[in-house]
């Protein structure tokens, strides 16, 4: 991973930023004024901004409406929400018939998890999710051991689901889409008037193993400094890294891109 300064010669080709939210844009569970201001500064400077998150549909409705962003990809790539002509619109990544099937399989998986992991807690935002289950191992519960988290991931995979570990949740869903598919589908299917940039003109910044598909796929990917403890779990690390952690690292990228 190279320091951000080595990105200087490629900077002029960057039109926008895709970014993870938890522990990339937030710091210790909060959006700092510095991070949010740095987002506004990027928007004012003309950058396209697309958060990409495992967070639920309920949150994404708010983000699309109120944050200075061009759209948001939620629930690990299941859909994108965006504003168009003053109305909140959505693009689902799965075709409708597959979406129905995925949702009914999810109901079954939830019951199986509850039986095999008695006492486990679903994320406090579970009821605002449409396509995935989020099992809390660190946010509002006593942190699980790495072995317990691994066992849950293997359990979900044994049921045919995808399972990804963020810094706080195990997210699991049916369907082969990833956050990358969500981003690509949004860029391809969004109304032309939005004049969204090409995938190759966007950079990605993230912090954890569930960001690995983006670290690999984006020509320019960046880790905030707090990605370091997760590197043993990431085969394709980000190509660049910030000096600062979490929201301060995001603000560091914002300042770098605008300078
Ligand atoms: Mg994160």
Q: Where are the domains of the chain?
A: 2-93+177-258, 96-173
Q: One fold for both 2-93+177-258 and 96-173? A: no
Regions of the chain short of the pLDDT cut 70: none
Quick one: which of 45, 20, 59 has its CA closest to 168? 20
**d(CA 119, ligand 1 centre) in Å:** 25
* Predicted structure pTM score: 0.90
**d(CA 100, ligand 1 centre) in Å:** 28
**d(CA 23, ligand 1 centre) in Å:** 5
pLDDT for the residue 165 = 87
2-93+177-258 belongs to CATH 3.40.50.1000: yes
What fold does the segment set 96-173 form as a domain? Hypothetical Protein Ta0175; Chain: A, domain 2 (3.90.1070)
Q: Are 183 and 89 in contact (CB under 8 A)?
A: no
Q: Are 161 and 173 in contact (CB under 8 A)?
A: yes
pLDDT for the residue 210 = 82
pLDDT for the residue 129 = 95
pLDDT for the residue 20 = 97
Instruction: Give the CA-trace dihedral at 254, 256, 258, 259, to 10 degrees.
Output: 150
Burial of 216 from C-beta contacts in 10 A (0-12 / 13-18 / 19+): middle
**d(CA 208, ligand 1 centre) in Å:** 5
Instruction: Give the CA-trace dihedral at 33, 38, 40, 42, to 10 degrees.
Output: -170
Quick one: which of 144, 177, 204 has its CA closest to 14? 204
**d(CA 2, ligand 1 centre) in Å:** 20
pLDDT for the residue 167 = 79
């Amino acid at each position: 991973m190279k320091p951000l300064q080595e990105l200087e010669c490629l900077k002029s080709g960057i039109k926008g930023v895709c970014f993870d939210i938890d522990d990339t844009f937030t710091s210790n569970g909060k959006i700092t004024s510095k991070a949010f201001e740095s987002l506004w500064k990027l928007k004012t400077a003309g950058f396209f901004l697309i958060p990409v998150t495992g967070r639920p549909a309920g949150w994404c409705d708010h983000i699309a409406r109120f944050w200075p962003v061009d759209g948001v990809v939620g629930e690990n790539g299941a859909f994108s929400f965006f504003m168009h002509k003053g109305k909140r619109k959505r693009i689902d990544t799965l075709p409708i018939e597959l979406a129905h099937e995925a949702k009914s399989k999810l109901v079954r998986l939830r019951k199986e998890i509850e039986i095999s992991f008695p006492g486990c807690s679903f994320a406090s935002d579970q009821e605002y999710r449409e396509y995935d289950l989020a099992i809390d191992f660190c946010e509002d519960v006593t942190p699980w051991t790495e072995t317990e988290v691994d066992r849950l991931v293997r359990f979900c995979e044994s049921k045919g689901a995808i399972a990804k570990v963020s810094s706080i949740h195990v997210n699991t869903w049916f369907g082969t889409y990833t956050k990358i598919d969500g981003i690509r589908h949004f860029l391809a299917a969004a109304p032309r008037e939005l004049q969204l940039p090409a995938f190759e003109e966007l950079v990605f910044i993230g912090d954890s193993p569930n960001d690995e598909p983006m670290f690999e796929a984006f020509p320019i990917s960046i880790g905030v400094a707090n990605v370091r403890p997760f590197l043993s779990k990431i085969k394709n690390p980000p190509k660049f890294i910030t000096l600062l952690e979490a929201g301060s690292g995001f603000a560091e990228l914002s300042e770098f891109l605008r300078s």
